[in-house]
Amino acid sequence: MSYEYIGITVLWIFLYGYLIVASVDFGAGFYAYYAKLTKKDHIMNQLISRYLSPVWEVTNVFFVFFFVGIVGFFPDSAFYYGQALLIPGSIAIVLLAIRGSFYAFENYGSKDNHLYMFLYGATGLLIPASLSTTLTISEGGFIKETADGVQLLYGELFTSPYSWSVVLLAIVSVLYISSMFLAYYASKANDQPALEQVRKFALFWSSPTIIASLTTFIALSQHNPEHYQKAIDLWWVFGLSVAFFMVAVLLIYFKKYYGWAFCAVMLQFFFAFFGYGASHLPYILQPHITVTSGATNETMGITLIIAFIGGLCLLIPSLYLLMRLFLFDADYVKGNK
């Protein structure tokens, strides 16, 4: 395997990590606001707060690694994506800033403020929707080069069924992944009222998730038949994703092995995410950037690979320690400290 493909694989691992960790965080914020709105915050919000308090500040580490890495490995991506995503990217950054600020205000400042919780919950859905624009644009047909640079075709973007299907998939996936994790976390805390509530959320969002996935595939077949055909050739990867989806839902339905259910969810999205990425190759931005044509020189590429693998080797043990010391500490998870 060439250094270009090793590089994009490492970056895809970081993006997958962000997909899982950020989805749990974004969805938990939305559920916290929903619980307050429906007067069920006394059931759920202590559990959600125990998860968010030690985790919310490190959620974006994976995203920062990916963002720095994609520009380092593939310099042309800064030119094309940087100009095309100027407005959507700026919106995402503002939403991230609002989310972090108002979470801090809610937890360390004014308590029981509905505005703060609304902003925190709403950004949990708006951020993945705005970030999903990047995946949409990568399929081609949404940007054009002009004498002044790269221009995003907003008309095509907002009228494309594929674009909206990706946004829908991003939102429902966040709610599904988060509810599955919270069910596991509630079971660890032996918090039966919260467990029953988030278990209902997990079962409710499972059907929209699989429907949105199928809708995205159908829309992709119309927008980019070449990518769709490559995805069909990797049918067994997506078949494994569906199999793990069924395992996760059945375990939640029968109220058993919540930890294994969340592991099945992670494997579900692992196979779906890497199947999508593999079928999209060699393009990073179709038809402008490919893995080989847009890559940096070999010396720089190998150096970045070593640095990012080293970063991954530091990040994963750090997250493990965070979980052992805080999230899954026997007393902390039950709210005793």
pLDDT for position 55: 63
Residue 24: domain span = 3-333
Whether the bond between 128 and the residue before it is cis, its omega within 30 degrees of 0, is: no
Strand partners, 144: 151
Distance CA 230, CA 98 (A): 39
Structure tokens, 102:
């108002």
Q: What is the pLDDT of residue 256?
A: 85
Query: Hey, how many other C-beta atoms are within 10 angstroms of the C-beta on 181?
Result: 25
Our count of domains for the chain comes to 1
- Rounded to two decimals, what is the model's pTM? 0.89
Per the listing, tokens 């079928």 go with 279
For 75-124, how does the pLDDT look when each residue is reduced to its tens digit (9 = 90+)? 888 778 877 777 777 888 888 887 777 766 655 555 566 777 788 788 88
Could you tell me what percent of the chain has a pLDDT over 70?
86
Highest mean pLDDT among 1-5, 57-61, 229-233, 301-305 belongs to 229-233
The model's pLDDT over 215-246, given as tens digits with 9 standing for 90+, comes to 999 999 998 899 999 999 999 999 999 999 99
Beta strands in 129-213 (DSSP E): 143-146, 149-152
pLDDT at position 176: 94
